[in-house]
């Protein structure tokens, strides 16, 4: 396969980076913010690697102007961030916290003043602890409704300046290992959030979701292996993405999960299947499949031990990003696609004269962006790319040990340093092509 590297991206291609509130903001007990479930998680001894905490994180709450200035220096035209639900609504419902509302007002205005378009995620895992205590979290469909209410309120607050909205981030991940009822309730939350955003909108919105998909790519591109990869994609993503697009659970879903089915209604499935304006896909790895003479028509080929991996042991599979965009068109039509997260964690300790020479991340970017460019050249509906992440941050259960950023964070001094990969990404954006 030959990867096209001479074709330019279109002038309106969205170039961004992404973060999440709990991972960067800090200031967890300031200005009226109440605890989220991740504040609670960080109090559990041993739950987070090295007992790290997002209490301070990257101190973005106080340093957002500095961070936006760095974004501008990287030539970004978009920035994806999430709202801390408990900073805006400390109880998850009820009265607003004016100082929390004001923080996002100031952040949005700062982005716009620097020519950067805000992309706002309503829910990125930090459920208000009050809703966990009152309803049992995502075990209850009441929380699904509360997310819809929250989405409507933030649309009323910010949609005069924010057009691009994401309902939920990675239902697959925050419901992992949970009963399918919890997955269903989270899907319902996405649907209610979509309706809430549109109900509160002050302008026509561009609203969708961000989901971590598993993308299978064919061992090589022959019709039988391509078809096998397409079948594998439908099996792997039957829990979340297919119900969002089809408003129903598929035969593949019932085949896999017949022992653990959720309670649903036709009305709930209509809510889940509310049409989206775009699909946001988070992708970090994938798998290789080939056609096989078995019930499913495919088999997964295991990666050998020598296959390239990131610092967390995730296999690096650049071809999967092209296959993901192609699968989306094949199964869901020409709905616009944005890569809402893609990146790698690396051991960024090697420095020279204060530089962070992360050439492994540059190669990761180069290979993945080449396949995104190929997808565009092939006429697939890819509209933008958000690198995860803008800066090193609190990486959930990995704490501060996993660095995904284009910008290095010194967690002692809070100094920011643009890595070589950040400079590379800036040059790619400036040139409009893979370098």
What residue has token string 């409507």?
A: 152
Q: How many Å apart are CA 391 and CA 47, to the nearest integer?
A: 23
SS3 277: coil
Give kind and range of the element (H or E) at residue 185.
helix 180-200
231-235, Cβ contacts within 8 angstroms, sequence gap of 24 or more: 231/296, 231/297, 231/298, 232/287, 232/289, 232/296, 232/298, 232/300, 233/323, 233/327, 233/331, 234/331, 235/296
To the query of whether residue 142 is one of the catalytic residues in this protein, the response is: no
SS3 18: strand
SS3 97: coil
Instruction: Pick the closest to residue 381 from 80, 10, 6 (CA basis).
Output: 10
Give kind and range of the element (H or E) at residue 81.
strand 78-82
Catalytically annotated residue among 25, 93, 170, 211 = 170
Catalytically annotated residue among 110, 211, 341, 395 = 341
Give kind and range of the element (H or E) at residue 375.
helix 359-377
To the query of whether residue 341 is one of the catalytic residues in this protein, the response is: yes
Instruction: Pick the closest to residue 345 from 378, 376, 388 (CA basis).
Output: 388
Tokens found for residue 120: 């706002």
What residue has token string 């919890």?
A: 182
Q: What is the total residue count of the chain?
A: 435
SS3 335: coil
Q: How many Å apart are CA 24 and CA 1, to the nearest integer?
A: 39
Kindly give the pairing relationship between strand 355-356 and strand 351-352. Answer: antiparallel
Kindly give the pairing relationship between strand 287-291 and strand 164-169. Answer: unpaired
Beta bridge partners of 417: 408
Q: How many Å apart are CA 126 and CA 35, to the nearest integer?
A: 9
Kindly give the pairing relationship between strand 164-169 and strand 117-123. Answer: parallel
What residue has token string 């009305």?
A: 267
Catalytic residues, which ones?
170, 341
């Amino acid at each position: 396969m030959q990867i096209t590297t001479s074709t330019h991206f279109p002038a309106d291609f969205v170039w961004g980076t992404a973060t999440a509130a709990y991972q960067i903001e800090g200031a967890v007990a300031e200005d009226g913010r109440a605890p989220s479930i991740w504040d609670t998680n960080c109090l559990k001894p041993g739950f987070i690697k090295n007992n790290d905490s997002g209490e301070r994180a990257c101190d973005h709450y106080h340093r957002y102007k500095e961070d936006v200035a760095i974004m501008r220096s990287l030539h970004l035209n978009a920035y994806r961030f999430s709202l801390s639900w408990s900073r805006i609504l400390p109880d998850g419902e009820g009265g607003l916290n004016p100082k929390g509302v004001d923080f996002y007002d100031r952040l949005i205005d700062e982005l716009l003043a620097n020519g950067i378009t805000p992309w706002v995620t309503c829910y990125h895992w930090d459920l208000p602890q009050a809703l966990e205590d009152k309803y049992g979290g995502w075990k209850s469909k009441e929380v699904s409704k509360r997310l819809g209410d929250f989405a409507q309120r933030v649309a009323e607050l910010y949609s005069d300046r924010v057009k691009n909205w994401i309902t939920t981030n990675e239902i697959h991940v925050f419901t992992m290992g949970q009963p399918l009822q919890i997955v269903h309730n989270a899907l319902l939350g996405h649907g209610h959030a979509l309706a809430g955003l549109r109900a509160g909108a002050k302008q026509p919105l561009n609203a969708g979701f961000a989901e971590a998909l598993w993308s299978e790519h064919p061992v090589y591109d022959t019709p039988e292996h391509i078809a096998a990869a397409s079948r594998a994609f439908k099996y792997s993503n039957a829990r979340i993405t297919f119900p969002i697009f089809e408003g129903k659970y598929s035969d593949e879903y019932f085949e896999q999960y017949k022992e653990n089915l959720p309670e649903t209604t036709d009305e709930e499935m209509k809510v889940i299947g509310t049409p989206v304006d775009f699909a946001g896909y988070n992708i970090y790895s994938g798998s290789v499949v080939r056609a096989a003479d078995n019930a499913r028509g495919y088999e997964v080929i295991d990666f050998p031990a020598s296959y390239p991996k990131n610092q967390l042991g995730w296999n690096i599979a650049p071809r999967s990003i092209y296959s993901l965009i192609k699968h989306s068109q094949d199964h869901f039509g020409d709905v616009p696609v944005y890569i809402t997260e893609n990146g790698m964690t690396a051991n960024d300790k090697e420095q020279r004269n204060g530089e962070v020479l992360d050439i492994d991340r540059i190669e990761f970017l180069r290979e993945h962006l080449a396949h995104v460019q190929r997808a565009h050249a092939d006429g697939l509906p890819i509209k933008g790319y958000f690198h995860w992440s803008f800066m090193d941050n609190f990486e959930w259960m990995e704490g501060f040990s996993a660095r995904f950023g284009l910008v290095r964070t010194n967690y002692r001094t809070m100094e920011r340093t643009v890595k070589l990969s950040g400079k590379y990404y800036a040059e790619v954006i400036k040139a409009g092509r893979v370098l």
